[in-house]
Amino acid sequence: MVNQQRKKDILQLVIALVAIVVLNIVSQYAFTRIDFTKEKRYTISPISIQILENLKAPVKITVFLEGEFPSGFKRLRSATKDLLIDYKAYAGENIQFEFVNPLEGKNQQQQEEIYQELAQKGIEPTNLSVKTESGLSQKVIFPAAMVNSGSQSIPVSLLQNRIGISPEEVLNNSIQNLEYAFSSAIKKAVSGGKPRVGFTEGNGELDDLQLQDAMKSLADGYEAGRINLTDITNEGLKKLKVMVIAKPETGFSELEKYKIDQFLMRGGKIIWTIDQVNADLDSMRNGARQEQLAFQKKLNLDDQLFTYGIRINYDLVGDMNCAQIPVNVGTAGGQPQIQLVPWLFYPIIMPVSTHPMVKNLDGIKTEFINTIDTISVANIRHTILLTTSPFNRELETPNIISLKMIEETPDPKLFQSTPKPVCVLLEGKFKSNFVTQAIPEGADLGTKTINKSEFTKMLVFSDGDVFKSQVSGKDGSVFPLGYDKYSQQTYGNKTFLLNAVDYLTDDSGLIALRSKEIKLRLLDKGKLVADKVQWQLINTLIPLFILIFFGIFQHLYRKRKYAG
């Protein structure tokens, strides 16, 4: 009887081993996984899978997040590694990755060289305060990666900082953005070149210094520069992917409007950031009476925007949710006393839309904005992305605005209104503005005039300063886009620019990955302290009781089985 039992056990063992071998062989040809999380946090999206499976050449990913970190960064590193392992499962040998510490084993001079080298590639360091036995010590890390394919190198930022949120939320946002960041970078690296983004000049737009950080920020994934609509040729327009018209001050000629129109008709994308009213804080400060007449600009764009389905109104919006400006409130000891006071005409626009372009975005700082009306046009879909707060008030123009307004406490009753649209996305097939108009002289673009566009997109923002960086009055240095040198706060203007260009140039729907959410399920710290001993006992004693129970059960079972 014992021999029969032994043969039976051996047969079961052989069957189990054969099953394991067969399962391993099958797993080499068929890959699958089961994700039991509610939000499917470990499931790669079909868009990313398609990008990975269509790779024709190896892509190498170097992650600079290696070394000894606090627990939060260890979690970010683990999440990054898990994602790249999944990528490799779909792409095979076409995805190669490694984690490195760029500063390991380097002396001070070598570290400085590495700082400069990585900064030139678009990778900036982050300073960490790390607790040690002797106190706090500063540590420099690089929460970033570099995606390389052939001669193309695209940097990837792993850390998504936002104002006013906890470190846990920063980490959570960073982890849920990983798939978009890597998939987008891989797509750009293998596409054979960076898409071109052209900021127009020649009509009083923001100058190179004011747009320096905007173009620098785009340089990681795009080829950004200036274009002159008067001089640009048909070939130049064909190479352009996105056109940005940032705060023009003088009117556009019919020839310039025609070039913009035909660029759109050929599927080009346009970002309009336009002020319809001439108002400037510096002009008020420098004036003897500290006031200015806010009057309407004559940009000659109204008919064109109306044809496309949008109207930017000639008004100003005051909003109680606003930025602060420095004002001299008196003197003490012969020295001017500067104080930050709210300025109603600098609204802070808080995104509430779940659209991937503005989701999880910090407040956006604006200056002297106008309201926007949408016009119903066939084949065009309007999406209102950004609005003022409910505590706003419209000011008709022309009108006098003065710095003395800061001395008046706003009456909340006068500022109760519905939120006003200030940023609208338009998508669809646009009708040309020159269907019923004469083609301007000198408008020979080498091809026949197109009267209806292919599917394309445009973004309209009623603030010309949204992409403007502040410039230091001391040394002329440029502050990062979105940084306010007075309050020393960083707003979401830069991230909004990057999101907008990514969305406009993305034809695969990849940016929809920004809508991916991973819910925070944090422990209740109060309960943790109160019930600490209880759970320590449960976690210590219950496993012991289970082991003892199974030990007794196994002893009695064997005794009964082999008793005869």
The more confident residue out of 385 and 436 is 385
**pLDDT value at position 426?**
97
Name the pLDDT band for 17 (thresholds 50, 70, 90). confident
Tell me the C-alpha to C-alpha distance, in Å, between residue 319 and each of 276, 295, 422, 446.
18, 19, 12, 48
What is the tens place of the pLDDT at every residue in 484-538? 988 888 898 998 998 899 899 886 677 777 666 555 555 566 676 777 788 788 8
The more confident residue out of 268 and 111 is 268
Name the pLDDT band for 288 (thresholds 50, 70, 90). low
Range of lowest pLDDT (74-78, 160-164, 238-242, 330-334):
160-164
**pLDDT value at position 519?**
57
**pLDDT value at position 543?**
87
Answer whether residue 101 shows pLDDT above 70: yes
- Percentage with pLDDT > 70 across the chain: 87
Rounded mean pLDDT, 46-75? 86
Answer whether residue 437 shows pLDDT above 80: yes
Range of lowest pLDDT (19-28, 100-109, 415-424, 490-499):
19-28
Give me 279's structure tokens: 């108002």
Name the pLDDT band for 476 (thresholds 50, 70, 90). confident
φ, ψ dihedrals at 406, nearest 5°: -70, -20
**pLDDT value at position 452?**
94
Name the pLDDT band for 291 (thresholds 50, 70, 90). confident
Contact 318, 343 (CB under 8 A): no
What is the tens place of the pLDDT at every residue in 144-183? 889 998 888 888 888 876 555 667 777 777 888 888 889 8
Range of lowest pLDDT (1-10, 285-294, 307-316, 477-486):
1-10
Tell me the C-alpha to C-alpha distance, in Å, between residue 120 and each of 124, 212, 516.
9, 15, 31
Range of lowest pLDDT (200-204, 499-503, 551-555, 559-563):
559-563
Name the pLDDT band for 137 (thresholds 50, 70, 90). low
**pLDDT value at position 38?**
62
In the chain, how many H helices and how many E strands?
14, 25
Answer whether residue 557 shows pLDDT above 90: no
Name the pLDDT band for 251 (thresholds 50, 70, 90). very high
**pLDDT value at position 3?**
66
Answer whether residue 406 shows pLDDT above 60: yes
Helix axes 46-53, 71-91, angle to 10 degrees: 60
Rounded mean pLDDT, 241-250? 96
Long-range CB contacts for residues 168-172, cutoff 8 Å, separation at least 24: 168/72, 168/520, 168/522, 169/520, 171/72, 171/75, 171/76, 172/518, 172/520
Name the pLDDT band for 286 (thresholds 50, 70, 90). confident
What is the tens place of the pLDDT at every residue in 323-345? 998 887 666 666 777 788 899 99
Range of lowest pLDDT (65-74, 103-112, 467-476, 555-564):
555-564
**pLDDT value at position 32?**
61
**pLDDT value at position 134?**
56
Answer whether residue 348 shows pLDDT above 90: yes
The more confident residue out of 513 and 87 is 87
Residue 309 in 3-state DSSP? coil
DSSP 491-517: -THHHHHHHHHHHHH-SS-GGGGGG--
| Distant-in-sequence, close-in-space partners of 438: CB < 8 Å, separation ≥ 6 | none
* Most confidently modeled range among 72-86, 132-146, 251-265: 251-265
**pLDDT value at position 246?**
96
Name the pLDDT band for 122 (thresholds 50, 70, 90). confident
Rounded mean pLDDT, 416-438? 93
Q: What is the mean pLDDT of the chain?
A: 85
Q: How far is it, in rounded angstroms, from Cα 276 to Cα 461?
A: 11
Q: How far is it, in rounded angstroms, from Cα 280 to Cα 277?
A: 10
Range of lowest pLDDT (101-105, 221-225, 226-230, 275-279):
101-105
Give me 536's structure tokens: 């320590």
